[in-house]
Structure formats: C-alpha cells, structure tokens
Amino acid sequence: MRLGVLDIGSNTGHLLVVDAHGGAAPLPAYSHKERLRLAEHLDADGAVSTSGVDALTDFVASAIEVAEEKGCEEMLGFATSAIRDSANSDEVLQHVQDATGVAIAVLSGEDEARLTFLAVRRWFGWSAGRLAVFDIGGGSLEIAAGSDEAPDVAWSMPLGAARLARQWFGSGSADEGVVRELRKQIRADIARDAGHLLRNGAPDRAAATSKTFRSLARICGAAPSSEGPLVPRSLGLADLSRWIPKLVAMSLDELRELPGVSASRAHQIVPGALVAEACMDIFDLPELEICPWALREGVILERLDQLSVLG
C-alpha cells in the first residue's frame, strides 16, 4: 500500500510518501517538505505564534494535495517536541484540523524514542545485540536501549539543537563563555538519568539518527548522502571533540559552507555538537553508527505491524 507519513517536527514539516507492505523495507516514493522552524516560533509564554500556526496550517494543506496526487491510501500525521511542549498545543492542532480536516497525533517523548528505536532495530537487525539509540531533534534529545524490538528504557529531554540555539545563542554566534556554561548544563541533564541505560550494562552497538548526527558525521569525514543509504557512516568521539573548538570559532557564514550543513540549520550545529559529544562521553561510546532510518520509518513499521495483525 502507499502511505503518506506527515511528520511535524521542530525544524521541518515533512510528508514522506512510501510504498510499504509487511516483510519488506518501506520504499520512499516522494518527499515534500518545508522549513517551519516551530521551535523558534514560540512567544514569551511558550505558545506557537500566529505566524507559526499559519505556516503549519498551510503546509498541512499542501501535504494533503501532494498525498492525494501521489495516490496515498492513508496518511499518518504526528507532531513532536515543538507542538508537544507548546503552551497552546491543543488550540494549534484544533485549528489545523478545522482548516484542513487532518488530525495530527502528538507523540510523547517516550513514544518518539521507542519508535525511533524500532526503526534502528529493524535496520541493523538482531545481530546488533543490545542496542542503544540516540536522536537529536530540533526540540528534544531521545535515548533508548534494549535487546528486543521494544526498548527496555526510552526517555526524552529538552535538549534539541534548535531549542538550545534559541535559548542560548539567540540569532548570533556562540560566545566561548556561553558555550562553556551550555556544555556544563547539557552534561548535567544527560548524566542525571544516565543510569537508565547504564544499569543494564554497555550496549553491544550504539547508533544515532536524524539530521544533526548526519551533519556532524559528514563534517567529521563521513560519506556524503549522494553515495546512498547503504554506505556505512559513523561519528567518532575523538573527531567530534577536535572539531568542536573549530565550530565554536566559526561565523554562521562559515558554518553554512561546511559539508552536510544546510543554511537554515547552521546556527544549530554548535549546540547539536555539544549534545552529541556529551552523549558519547557520558555513556563511554567512542563511536556512533549513523542509521538512515529514524522516527518516520518507525511510525511506518508500527503501522504495518498493526495491519498485519488485523489482516
């Protein structure tokens, strides 16, 4: 069947059209996305601004048209941290539904971590053993680990790259004093719950997903996306630690010129790098393998599993 997966993230709205059936990998057929930057469209009270609501509504309306044109039988819509944590999330989603007819589900941080873990488990398979998964989004950091398809532990923290960029750097470059304070805060936040994962021992394999990790891996020398998803990619802690001082010293224009960095996310690279380094250091992981599948694939796989049970 052909599914449309509508992902309302903190940075981007993304409709992924896939051909999918049980027992096979979801095959991407078409991609339609737009920069929404909802994590940066929050007012002083933590509510999504009128301009943010309008941009989201317009995108969902355009996504419906694309899904219909591409022959989607079903559309799965979900939102993550930016909507989940906003002060007016119910009003925003009701406005979108009234205007477009689309009901968007809000994933909890734990569900986001769980579904991402499912996707990574299916990608690497059972040979991965006990698996740890890290995902830096725009609004939050998700961590999950386990030996089965469902993780033993899964949790979320408000350490997304866009959120930290907005809170700590505003629209300017990183100041060394601010970076030092942010680094300390990130590490304290992650270490507070590190025992969730560590009490069951070191993972046999550790992986990372999504744009921030992919960009950092590319900066550190991983193969470009043009070489396809089957090329092994990884992010080494030593390489990342060498790069962070260079990233802090760069202007936004210089960051935009780095391989794998999109212009709209250049301001998020430094906070994203600090979160990635902290994860690897605190959990004693010298390297993270980059997985091309993430939350969207997890949503698709779970839906296929449900249809298999029903049918």
Q: How confident is the model at residue 280 (pLDDT cuts 50, 70, 90)?
A: very high
- 3-class SS of residue 101: coil
110-114, 152-156, 169-173, 263-267: the lowest-pLDDT one: 169-173
The fold of the 2-106 domain, in CATH, is Nucleotidyltransferase; domain 5 (3.30.420)
Q: Where are the alpha helices (DSSP H) in 230-292?
A: 237-249, 252-256, 269-282
Average pLDDT over residues 117-144: 97
- Would you list the domain boundaries of the chain? 2-106, 109-295
Pairing of strands 12-19, 27-35: antiparallel
Is residue 172 predicted with pLDDT exceeding 70?
no
Question: Residue 102 is encoded by which pair of tokens?
Answer: 């689309």
Q: How confident is the model at residue 39 (pLDDT cuts 50, 70, 90)?
A: confident
Do the domains 2-106 and 109-295 sit in the same CATH topology, yes or no?
Answer: yes
Residue 182's CB: how many other CB atoms inside 10 A? Answer: 21
List pLDDT tens digits, range 4-35. Answer: 999 999 889 999 999 988 888 899 999 999 99
Mean pLDDT of the chain: 94
What's the confidence (pLDDT) of residue 179?
94
1-10, 50-59, 63-72, 164-173: the lowest-pLDDT one: 164-173
Q: Where are the alpha helices (DSSP H) in 125-223?
A: 161-164, 176-192, 195-198, 210-219
- Residue 90: its H or E element: helix 89-100
Architecture label for domain 109-295: 2-Layer Sandwich (3.30)
Q: How confident is the model at residue 273 (pLDDT cuts 50, 70, 90)?
A: very high
Is residue 46 predicted with pLDDT exceeding 60?
yes
What's the confidence (pLDDT) of residue 147?
96
Residues in a beta bridge with 79: 8, 106
User: Which pTM was predicted?
Assistant: 0.94
List pLDDT tens digits, range 208-228. Answer: 999 999 999 999 999 999 999
Q: Report the percentage of the chain scoring pLDDT > 70.
A: 98
Q: How confident is the model at residue 253 (pLDDT cuts 50, 70, 90)?
A: very high
List pLDDT tens digits, range 190-206. Answer: 999 999 999 988 999 99
List pLDDT tens digits, range 92-107. Answer: 999 999 999 999 999 9
What's the confidence (pLDDT) of residue 20?
87
CA–centroid distance for 199 within its chain = 25
Q: How far apart are CA 185 and CA 191, in angstroms?
A: 10
Report helix angle 176-192 to 269-282, nearest 10.
40
Average pLDDT over residues 139-158: 96
Give the CA distances from residue 295 to residues 7, 133, 209, in Å, rounded to whole numbers and listed in that order: 9, 11, 9
Q: How far apart are CA 215 and CA 238, in angstroms?
A: 16
Is residue 171 predicted with pLDDT exceeding 90?
no
What's the confidence (pLDDT) of residue 126?
96
Q: Which residues contact 79 (CB under 8 A, 6 or more apart)?
A: 8, 9, 89, 93, 104, 105, 106, 107
The residue type at 235 = L
